[in-house]
Amino acid sequence: MTTQVEAGATLRQLQAGLGLDPLENRILLCHALALPRVALITQSERALTADEAARLASLVQRRLDGEPIAYIVGEREFFGLPFRVAPGVLIPRPDTELIVELALERLPQGGRLLDMGTGSGAIAVACAHTRRDAVVTALDLSDEALAIARANAAANGASVRFLRSDWFAAVGEERFELIASNPPYIAAGDAHLAQGDLRFEPVGALTDHADGLSALRSIIAGAPGHLVSGGWLLLEHGYDQAHAVRDLLQARGFSDVQSWRDLPGIERVSGGRLP
């Protein structure tokens, strides 16, 4: 049964039955009323004013219309850190924490890390926040993404240098100990693009408008010119692309080529080292 969002309804009544997932229900309630989560317990008999009811009703309707919860509240947690998100950047996924962990394990002390297609800044900011010794650069083609990523670095106290660049175009002759990327890898016409949160996310961050491998190919082709000897290239990719990405890495001369599984058990990241 759905509760009417109207003046006089209490937080207790509103915590169930808005027709939403219970966690999302609580997130929207707290966001609409600017309340901390604990208030849902300590102020459970607090009743909505007419203004609050109107605000909450509009947020609930947006969610029921399919808009991602992260865009509605403007934030998503990634690697234990808060990230500001807006429709100009992909919403950070838990799957992407895998590439952060792999990068942190492989980056030497004081190492230089490059995050290509940083979007919200998730990979670069999580690495720079965890490893104060790292020298982190993040690039993106989108000015809107760079503005959001800069804000996320600042808000999380992470030191990251940002570059506007079409893949390696603006990187010059620089070399890095590690390059990481979560590029657009969904093939044009893939049914997932028309489902769930993806419908609202920037299409250029999701698909290469081709076979799904073209951004991965560009990065693999350019990486040997921007890695030190022994440096790692780590790439996030789609659930069915691990084999193709390993083949591309091997063909470009990378050694130690391998793939790693995410928590659901899908080969999600592949990488190799420059000999």
Q: 129 with 141: CB under 8 angstroms?
A: no
Residue 111 vs 271, nearer CB to ligand GLN:
271
Residue 186 touching ligand GLN (CB under 6 A) = yes
The minimum distance between CB 270 and ligand GLN, in angstroms, equals 14
Contact in structure between 120 and 145 (CB atoms under 8 Å):
yes
What is the contact mask toward ligand GLN in residues 127 to 166, using x (rule: CB under 6 A)?
----------------------------------------
Residue 177 or 201 having the CB closest to ligand GLN = 201
Query: Helix, strand, coil: what percent of the chain each, to 5?
Result: 40, 20, 35
Among 182, 241, 259, 270, binds ligand GLN (CB under 6 A): 182
Residue 196 CB, nearest approach to ligand GLN (Å): 8
Specify the residue, 133 or 166, whose C-beta has the smaller distance to ligand GLN: 166
CA–CA separation, 161 and 125 (whole Å): 10
- Shortest approach of ligand GLN to residue 79 CB, angstroms? 15
- Which 3 state secondary structure label does DSSP give 153? helix
Task: Return the residue of 78, 162, 168, 185 that touches ligand GLN, per CB under 6 A.
Answer: 185
Sign of CA dihedral 245, 247, 253, 256: positive
Q: Which of 32, 128, 134, 206 binds ligand GLN (CB under 6 A)?
A: 206
Kindly state the smallest distance separating residue 90's Cβ from ligand GLN, in Å.
6
Of 52 and 236, the one with the shorter C-beta distance to ligand GLN is 236
User: Per rule CB under 6 A, is residue 184 in the interface with ligand GLN?
Assistant: yes
The site string for ligand GLN over 76-105 (x = CB under 6 A, - otherwise) reads --------------x--x-x----------
Residues 6+ apart with CB under 8 A from 44: 10, 11, 12, 15
Nearest C-alpha neighbor of 59 from the set 39, 75, 38, 73:
73
DSSP class of residue 10 equals B
Q: Which of 71-79's residues contact partners 24+ apart within 8 Å by CB, and which partners?
A: 71/200, 72/28, 72/31, 73/27, 73/28, 73/31, 76/120, 78/120, 78/122, 78/126, 79/122, 79/126, 79/129, 79/130
What is the Cα–Cα distance from 98 to 270, expressed in whole angstroms?
11
- Choices 22-30, 80-88, 154-162, 184-192 (CB under 6 A): range interacting with ligand GLN: 184-192
- Residue closer to ligand GLN (CB basis): 118 or 182: 182
Is the Cβ of residue 35 or residue 200 nearer to ligand GLN in the bound state? 200
Nearer to ligand GLN, 27 or 90 (CB): 90
Q: What CA–CA distance (Å, rounded) separates 114 from 10?
A: 49
As measured in angstroms, the least distance from the Cβ of 204 to ligand GLN is 10
How far apart are the C-alpha atoms of 54 and 6, rounded to whole Å? Answer: 7
Q: Where does this chain bind ligand GLN (CB under 6 A)?
A: 90, 93, 95, 182-186, 198, 206
